Amino acid sequence: MAVAARKGRVTASPLPASPVAITTTAQPGFLGSWLGRIPLPKWALIAIAVAVAVLLLLFLICIIRCCCGKKKPKKKERVSLHAISSSTTASLVQPEMDDLEQGTEQMGQGKLQYSLEYNFRAQELKVGVKQAAELKAMDSGGTSDPYVIIYLTSDMKKRYETKVYRKTLNPVFNENFTFQVPQAEMPESTLVMQIYDFNRFTKHDIIGEVRLPLASVSLQHVIEQWSDLVAASKVEEEQLGEICFSLRYVPSTGKLTVLILEAKKLKRMDSHGLSDPFVKVHLILNRKKWKKKKTSVKKNTLSPYFNEVFVFEVPFSQIQHVDVVISVWDHDKVTKNEPIGKLFLGCRATGNQLRHWSDMLSNPRRPLAQWHSLQPPDVVDKALGLKSHLKLPLPPR
C-alpha cells in the first residue's frame, strides 16, 4: 500500500501542473478582456467588424470620386484650350482692349453712299460722294459736323475733301472727284473714304471709313452703292516702290558688278502724278563713303527700265567690310533732287538684302538678280551709321 500510495503521489503530482500551463499560455490581454465584457457571441463581433470596414471603404471611395470629379473638367478645359493657337486662346479667355474698342466703335457708325466710274480712254477714276446716313453722334448735343476725305493708297499725297455739313447725322454731299490712275495700277490700289467730325478748336475726330480694293470692283460700268462704315485702321505705311538688280563678284580679279535692271510702283513725286527716277550706287567701306555711280534719268514714269551696269574694284580682303547702297531719286531741274527710297546690302544687312549678298559670295562669277522693296532714306541712313568726313591733319614736314 505504501508503494501504491507512493505511486499515487507520483502520478497525482503532475495533475495540478497542467491547468497552470494552460492558464499561462491562454491568458487574455487588454483586447481580450475588453471583448469578453461585451455580451455578444464571437461571430456577431466579427460581422460588425466586417460591416464597419466595408462602410469605411465605401466612404473613402466616395471621397476619391468627388475629388477626381472636380479636377477632371479643369483638365479637359486646359487640354482643349492648349490645343488652340495662342492668339485664339487669348481671345477666348479674355478679349484684347483693342477688340473691345473696335467692337464698340463698329456699332452705329453709319453708312455711306458713293459712285465709281472709270474712263479707260482718259485713264481717270471718277468718285462721287453722294450722302451718309445714321452717322455716329460725336458732339455733346447728339449730332456731328461731318465731312469726307477721299484718297487712293497708291498716291496718298493727293487727297480731296468735301464741304462740312453742320449738326447733322444724315448729310447729303453730292460732290465728285477725279483721280488720274493708269489702268495697269488700278488692281493694286485701294480707294479710301473717311468721314470726320469737324471741330473748330480741337483735332477732328474720325467717325468711320470705307476701304474699297479696286481689284475687287468691275469698272466696266458705273457703280453706285451703300457701304457700312467701319472703324478707321491705323496709319498705313507708305509704299515707296521696288527695284530689281543683279550682283556678281569675282574674287580672283576683285571685280564687283552691279546691274540695275528696272523698278516698279515707285512713289509719285511730281505734281502730275509721275516721277523722273534715276538710281545711285554707293560703296561704303568701313562706314565711310568710298565710290559712287549713277544711272541715266527716265522721264515721266513710275516703272523705269534701266539695264545699266557698273563695275567696281573691290579686293577680296575688303569685300567683308563693304556695303552697297542702292538709292532711287527723283530728278528735278529747278529744285534739289529728292530721294524716293533706299536699301543696302552687305554683311551688316538683314532679311532679303543679307540673303542676296550671301548668295553672291557663295556663287562667285555668277550674276544673281533679285527684287527688293525700297525703304525710307532716313531709316537706311540710320542703320548704316555713316561716319562724318573729317579732314586728317597733315603730317609734319
Residue 145 lies in a domain: yes
How many domains does the chain contain in total?
A: 2
The residue out of 173, 196, 229 marking a domain boundary is: 229
Q: Domain check: are 246 and 208 in the same one?
A: no
Residue 6 lies in a domain: no
Q: pLDDT tens for residues 68-104? A: 655 444 444 343 333 333 333 333 344 444 444 444 4
Residue 205 lies in a domain: yes
Average pLDDT, stretch 18-29? 47
Q: Which domain holds residue 322?
A: 242-384
Residue 97 lies in a domain: no
Burial class (CB in 10 A: 0-12, 13-18, 19+), 198: middle
The residue out of 229, 254, 289 marking a domain boundary is: 229
Q: Domain check: are 134 and 189 in the same one?
A: yes
Q: Domain check: are 212 and 258 in the same one?
A: no
Q: Tell whether the model's pLDDT for residue 22 goes beyond 70.
A: no
Q: Domain check: are 134 and 214 in the same one?
A: yes
Q: Domain check: are 292 and 337 in the same one?
A: yes
Query: CA-based Rg of the chain, rounded to a whole angstrom?
Result: 46
Q: Domain check: are 166 and 187 in the same one?
A: yes
Contact 150, 193 (CB under 8 A): yes
Maximum mean pLDDT: which of 61-65, 216-220, 364-368: 364-368
Distance, CA of 131 to CA of 198 (rounded, Å)? 17
Q: pLDDT tens for residues 231-246? A: 877 555 567 889 999 9
Q: Domain check: are 225 and 246 in the same one?
A: no
Q: Mean pLDDT across the chain, nearest whole number?
A: 78
Q: pLDDT tens for residues 156-194? A: 767 888 998 999 999 999 999 999 888 888 888 889 999
Q: What is the CATH number of the domain that holds 174?
A: 2.60.40.150
Q: Domain check: are 273 and 379 in the same one?
A: yes
Q: Domain check: are 134 and 259 in the same one?
A: no
21 or 281, higher pLDDT: 281
Q: Tell whether the model's pLDDT for residue 341 goes beyond 80.
A: yes
Average pLDDT, stretch 257-271? 88
Question: Tell me, what's the pLDDT at 387?
Answer: 58
Q: Domain check: are 252 and 224 in the same one?
A: no
Distance, CA of 100 to CA of 98 (rounded, Å)? 5
Question: Tell me, what's the pLDDT at 77?
Answer: 38
